[in-house]
Amino acid sequence: MPFPKQALGGVDWRGSLGLMTAHCTIVVVDVEGFGRYTRTNPNKVRIRRGMYRAIERAFAASDIPWAACRHEDRGDGVLVLAPARISKALFVDSLFGALADELTVHNAAHSAPERMRLRLALHAGEISYDEYGVVGSSILHAEELLDTAELKRALARTDAVLAVIASDWVFEEVVRHSERSFAGSYQPVGAGGGKAWIRLITPSRRRRAG
């Protein structure tokens, strides 16, 4: 866990709060159509297990230490906070392809109600934390990106297994400077009160065959 287990210092005599903060890479993931009627509770449990397995294996394949990150369950998804010492390039260069591979493996082994496609938002910024959890405008922005209609429509129109939306900051500071991030495959959209960038990842023949 990147955040020490200690309580906030409390409110001082002026009424101000001494916040504990950290800079993190923020990943928010959810399952497309998780709550649809055709999925029973056992279906949903298997989907959740498969989602976590796919994400953890994709992190390992990308050399992102899962144990060093903070992760909070969101019911139909998960929030992951990676400490600043972990290179952001690992997320844009290799995580998405590795995750698409894992999703393809999962879908090949399950019936239709338990197959899944994921939406993923990537952002970075300051978060505040206490003994109850984490909060911050950066997290809220990532969640807004994940919920944007443009991302949902983009995934619905294709057979992609993963739809990624990167904040404008991530795209401008990380994605476009990397020769391994497939920057040209991102498309700009209006989202979260500003600009964001969407990339769709469709299974390759190799992934389907595997």
- CATH architecture, range 20-209: 2-Layer Sandwich (3.30)
Pairing of strands 133-135, 118-130: antiparallel
What is the 3-state secondary structure of the chain?
A: CCCCCCCCCCECCCCCECCEEEEEEEEEEEECCCCCCCCCHHHHHHHHHHHHHHHHHHHHHCCCCHHHCEEEECCCEEEEEEECCCCCHHHHHHHHHHHHHHHHHHHHCCCHHHCCCEEEEEEEEEEEEECCEEECHHHHHHHHHHCCHHHHHHHHCCCCCEEEEEEHHHHHHCHHHCCCCCHHHCEEEEECCEEEEEEEECCCHHHHHC
Specify the length of the chain in residues.
210
In whole numbers, what is the pLDDT of the chain averaged over residues? 88
Ordered by start, the domain boundaries in the chain are 20-209
User: From CA 59, how far away is CA 70, in angstroms rounded?
Assistant: 13
Q: Note the pLDDT of residue 209.
A: 38
Distances in Å between the Cα of 195 and the Cα atoms of 94, 169, 203 are 23, 9, 27
pLDDT tens readout for residues 35-91: 999 999 999 999 999 999 999 999 999 999 999 999 999 889 999 999 999 999 999
Q: Please give the share of the chain, as a percent, with pLDDT higher than 90.
A: 77
108-162 pLDDT, tens digit per residue, is 999 999 999 999 999 999 988 877 888 899 999 999 999 999 999 999 999 999 9
Closest CA to 26 of 131, 134, 117, 130: 134
